[in-house]
Amino acid sequence: LKSAFIKAESSNPGLVHELVQTLIQKSDLNINLNETLLRLQGSDPENNCEFRSGRSDGIIEELNRKAAALKRILSRIPDEINDRKAFLETIKEIASAIKKLLDAVNVVSQ
């Protein structure tokens, strides 16, 4: 089932999101899908690699670590959005994490 969803999503990006959104609406559940997805991304294990490559020099692993760090920071948004001071600090952390991720992307592309 998982591989079928992966295949369907790769050929039709957004399909799984639309399916889940439709199921939530049909079930009359009061779930904020964006908030839920943000929270779930923070609990995604670091070994669930976002980027893969034939390179074995550790650069891709570093890129994955930076991506996972950004996801963890982004997952805090729903909890901190109502606390102005904490939220502003989170925004600064997001900017820093994005810069680090872009630096890692630059290293990979060289």
CATH number at residue 72: 1.20.120.1950
Angle between helix 2-11 and helix 15-26 axes, rounded to 10 deg: 110
Residues 59 and 23 in one domain: no
Task: Name the residue range of residue 4's domain.
Answer: 1-31
At residue 47 the predicted structure's pLDDT band, cuts being 50, 70 and 90, is: low
Q: The pTM is what?
A: 0.72
Question: What are the tokens at 94?
Answer: 């997001």
Q: Is the dihedral of CA 10, 12, 18, 19 positive or negative?
A: negative
Residues 17 and 39 in one domain: no
Judge whether residue 31 has pLDDT over 70. yes
Judge whether residue 56 has pLDDT over 80. no
Residues 24 and 63 in one domain: no
Q: pLDDT of 36-45, one tens digit each?
A: 888 888 876 6
- Confirm if 85 and 79 have CB atoms less than 8 A apart: no
